[in-house]
Amino acid sequence: MTTTVPSTSSEPVYSDAVAARMEPIFDRVKTVIPSVEWPVFAPEVDAILRLKEERNAVILAHNYQTPEIFHCVADIVGDSLALAREAVETEADCIVMCGVHFMAETAKLLNPDKTVLIPDMNAGCSLADSITGADIRLLRETYPGVPVVTYVNTSADVKAESDICCTSGNAVAVVESLGTDRVLFLPDEYLANYVAGQTDVDIISWKGHCEVHERFTPTEIESYRAGVPGLVVIAHPECPPDVLDAADFVGSTAQMINHVKNERPPKVLLLTECSMSDNVAAELPEIEFVRPCNLCPHMKLITLPKIRHSLETMSQEILIDSTLIAPARRAVERMLEIR
């Protein structure tokens, strides 16, 4: 028997009816969300599912979103590449991007006529903040004729100055698709370094870093390996080179997840944002995830109440300067043409 909590605002409340409707959804997350916390999430999930239908909206969620978003309200989940691809496919009128600002901008570039919402406009990214369109124009003067590959973790302003975008899941293929001896690869220095190790193309990099992945260290990995025999260490290529050297597998967030699903190592350390371990653990409870928790403060700005609020009010809408849309979109579309 559940108790109905009286509401003093228009916020949704937990009731027996909500509990019953949400029971199958709780089943998906019950190994990672304690049952005492579910009454807080359930009415929000219930309200969001209803609003999605009313607004003909689709929710795209990055692998770093928390389980109550990732498993309970999202229609499409994935890495940056999958979210960009799925944004092209959707027939919904409205896209809610549960991720960070550059992901919502990418969805808008690919769907200029749709409404794209981000539940918190302040959800930024240290990589996107590390470079501007003006920086790219200066680099082109310094390296005339060298094509510019930019990570999708950049603003529309930067994409508009680029030849082609890439994600961590396709970076090597994108670089090699250009058929040149050299490329400017911006702004993630560590991803650039990783790509340089996988190709003969000469890579010129920039000093941008992800504030989440740059904090991992080889010493940390060694101490986890010493304490957990048989531990398999899987790292994202935004980690520093000495961390990647110490890992057993390196890949984008989707490649990391697929590796765990295919190989089923009994004990895993995912060197990336910590919600991803919770999301995979909800599906694979038999695997032990060792969690050195590095949270992305930007990803964590997205919450269920903010998703509900943006859908209720159709606020926090992504708008892009009309002069940037065509060139920025071209750089993203060139990337999507590479399979």
Q: Which residues bind ligand 13P (CB under 6 A)?
A: 63, 79-81, 153, 167-169, 210, 236, 238, 252-253
Tokens for 111?
Answer: 């769907």
The amino acid at residue 283 is: E
Nearer to ligand 13P, 14 or 206 (CB): 206
Looking from the CA of 111 toward its CB, the CA atoms found within 13 Å total 28
Nearest of 80, 76, 78 to residue 101 by alpha carbon: 80
Residues that bind ligand SF4 in the complex, under the rule CB under 6 A: 100, 125-127, 153, 210-212, 238, 273, 296, 298-299
- Minimum separation from the CB atom of position 170 to ligand 13P (A): 9
Dist CA 208 CA 136 (whole Å): 13
- Minimum separation from the CB atom of position 93 to ligand 13P (A): 26
Three-state DSSP at 254 gives helix
- Residue 54: CB partners within 8 Å, gap ≥ 6? none
Nearer to ligand 13P, 43 or 169 (CB): 169
- Minimum separation from the CB atom of position 35 to ligand 13P (A): 30
The interface partner of residue 211, options being ligand SF4, ligand 13P, none and the CB cut-off 5 to 8 Å by kind, is ligand SF4
- Minimum separation from the CB atom of position 149 to ligand SF4 (A): 16
β pairing state of 57-62 and 94-98: parallel
Nearer to ligand 13P, 44 or 214 (CB): 214
The interface partner of residue 126, options being ligand 13P, ligand SF4, none and the CB cut-off 5 to 8 Å by kind, is ligand SF4
Dist CA 103 CA 124 (whole Å): 10
Nearer to ligand SF4, 22 or 247 (CB): 247
Rg value, the chain, Cα: 21
- Minimum separation from the CB atom of position 130 to ligand SF4 (A): 10
User: Which DSSP state fits 317?
Assistant: B
Nearer to ligand SF4, 96 or 146 (CB): 96
- Minimum separation from the CB atom of position 169 to ligand SF4 (A): 13
Nearer to ligand SF4, 146 or 191 (CB): 191
Spell out a b/e string for 145-159, using b for 16 or more CB atoms within 10 Å of the CB, else e: ebbbbbbbbbbbbbb
